[in-house]
Amino acid sequence: MQIFKRFSILLICTLFGKLVILAQLSKKKITYNLSDTLRGSNGKYRQEWDVLKYDITVEPDITAKTINGKCVMDFFDSGAKLMQIDLQEPMILDSVKQKNIAYKFRREGNVYWLEYRDTNAMYKIKPAYKQLSLYFHGKPKPALRAPWDGGWVWKKDKNNNPWVTVACQGLGASVWYPCKDIQSDKPNNGATLRIIVPDSLVGVGNGRLTEKKQMANAKTMYTWTVKNPINNYCIVPYIGKYVNFSEKYNGINGNLDMDYWVLDYNLEKAKKQFTEAPKMMKAFEHWFGKYPFYEDSYKLVDAPHLGMEHQSATAYGNGYQMGYEGKDWSGTGVGLKWDFIIIHESGHEWFANSICTKDIADMWVHEGFTNYSETLFVDYYYGKEAGNNYLQGIRTSIANDIPIIGPYGVNKEGSSDMYFKAGNMIHIIRQITNDDEKFRAMLIGLNKDFYHKTVFTKEIEDYISKKLKFDFSSIFNQYLRTIKVPLLEYKIKGETISYKWKDVVKNFTMPIKISLDSTYSKEQWITPSMDWKTITTSEKYDGKSFFVDKNFYVDLKIIDEINKK
């Protein structure tokens, strides 16, 4: 997802000491208007029709930076009268047709109201499958610094050839084509993308190339087809001087086609760097179960921006280097052993592209699990200690500015902590489970039982508690819905150690592993509450020999009874 946007914000804040300013700004009251509600909620005029498939044709004018297109939308009509069609300004909807019928519509900001039936008339409507053709054109919003801001990317490669794509998560697919722009309604039967480009260029899209057709005026149309449900923002064209190579991966579901589309001058570098992709697939099929889109293949595509999880066509722009643009977010060195963009963005195939949240307020389900996929990848290839160290290292990027879960119904995400903090929360769940096979079975079950589904956070929270046979609800409430880090207070008097939680939600029930010496040779579990509890030791302590397992993201504080005022 937009991990790049969030990483950049956090990096800038760290370098220039402005995290305090960021926190202050986050406290300002945010107001939402009708436009936010129309964009972010499943309102009345979205509810009576269900998208089944998009068939999009797009022809860019690379010089003018404009596009013309047609979106054929198959949908199930259960009584729609006034339909909300999303298409952001300055894009223009030219006409809407169904066979010989031309429909009237009117614009309200970024929404077109389509008069599908007389809203005042009474009908006996028989639900049926329908199709609309929506014709559009315009100069779509340019992404000035993709993928941190959304829109079309109009760039040139190093040989001065056009290099064009789209990055629009968060902002929404309606920034360039008319659609029902909400995550809760994926097209059940997939999508087709037809890209018309000059003969000198190649058009690459999601899924499989199903047709290459010569057009008039020295142009070619590349048709790409996705059979599985797909997020609107994931449907993207890539246009450039592409060449391709491929391989077969023997995975859980048989042979998986893994294709790589790269700029011609990057071919040799890509053949070396993209050996990371089958390594990723092996680790993630181990932890999460089968890759969710065997029918549509797996692809990496050279992109003129850092990257994005476009389903079955992941955007790659990491410069053919290890780490995140050559950096290690954990500071441990282990992050330089693998290509961050390949690993992280591919992790989204399971979390975001297959399991998808209905509202972006719950995006931690996408980003927290995908952030943790990095730790699991490290664990798989470099061992558990390396994975633990990596996870602990990325805590320096946690902001604790606003809650991770955002406001619902207004297309608003929560804190960037949905990455690092949510990843650490999942690691805590793994520690409490204290059984990696049981934890892994939960992850595989999650991907099996919510395969290609859209969800709310509570469904995921309840599933984890049920499968792991532990009530994690207070832990989810603490880490997802507050900005407070649990504080474990303790005091030592002779052979008695007292402890309790502070800065926690009501009924916070998180067991934690502690040690009575710095070598962690005497680890034991305790279950603190908001009232003092005690344990008795066989030795006397000086008030310093009390340690929390570093795999728990908590604060620790000793209470000095002598100096306490």
Eight-state DSSP code of residue 160: S
In a domain, residue 151? The reply is: yes
Pairing verdict, β 162-167 and 487-493? unpaired
By the 10 Å C-beta count (0-12 exposed, 13-18 middle, 19+ buried), 221 is classed as middle
Domain-embedded: residue 124: yes
> Comparing C-alpha atoms, which of 62, 73, 203 is closest to residue 135?
73
Q: What is the pLDDT of residue 120?
A: 82
Last residue of a domain, one of 273, 305, 337: 305
CATH code of the domain in which 532 resides? 2.60.40
DSSP state of 354: T
Measured CA to CA in angstroms, residue 32 lies from 84, 249, 387, 412, 414 at distances of: 19, 47, 41, 10, 15
The tokens describing 159, both together, are 């040989």
pLDDT tens series, the chain, 565 aa: 555 444 444 443 433 333 333 333 344 578 899 999 999 999 999 999 999 999 999 999 999 999 999 999 999 999 999 999 999 999 999 999 999 899 999 999 999 999 999 888 777 888 999 999 999 999 999 998 888 889 999 999 999 999 999 999 999 999 999 999 999 999 999 999 999 999 999 999 999 999 999 999 999 999 999 999 999 999 999 999 999 999 999 999 999 999 999 999 999 999 999 999 999 999 999 999 999 999 999 999 999 999 999 999 999 999 999 999 999 999 999 999 999 999 999 999 999 999 999 999 999 999 999 999 999 999 999 999 999 999 999 999 999 999 999 999 999 999 999 999 999 999 999 999 999 999 999 999 999 999 999 999 999 999 999 999 999 999 999 999 999 999 999 998 888 899 999 999 999 999 999 998 766 667 899 999 999 999 987 765 555 678 999 999 999 999 976 445 4
Q: What is the CATH number of the domain that holds 176?
A: 2.60.40.1730
390 assigned to some structural domain: no
Residue 451 lies in a domain: no
- pLDDT score of 541: 56
Answer whether residue 254 is part of any domain.
Answer: yes
Q: 63 is in which domain, residue-wise?
A: 45-263+300-305
What is residue 148's predicted lDDT score, i.e. its pLDDT? 84
Q: Is residue 196 part of a domain?
A: yes
C-alpha 491/C-alpha 493 separation (Å) is 7
**How many Cα atoms within 13 Å fall on the side-chain side of residue 62?**
20
Domain final position from 271, 305, 339: 305
Question: Which three-class secondary structure state does DSSP give residue 535?
Answer: strand
In a domain, 203, yes or no: yes
- Looking at the structure of the chain, the number of domains it has is 2
Q: Is residue 114 part of a domain?
A: yes
**What type of residue is 161?**
N
From 305, 333, 366, give the residue that closes a domain.
305
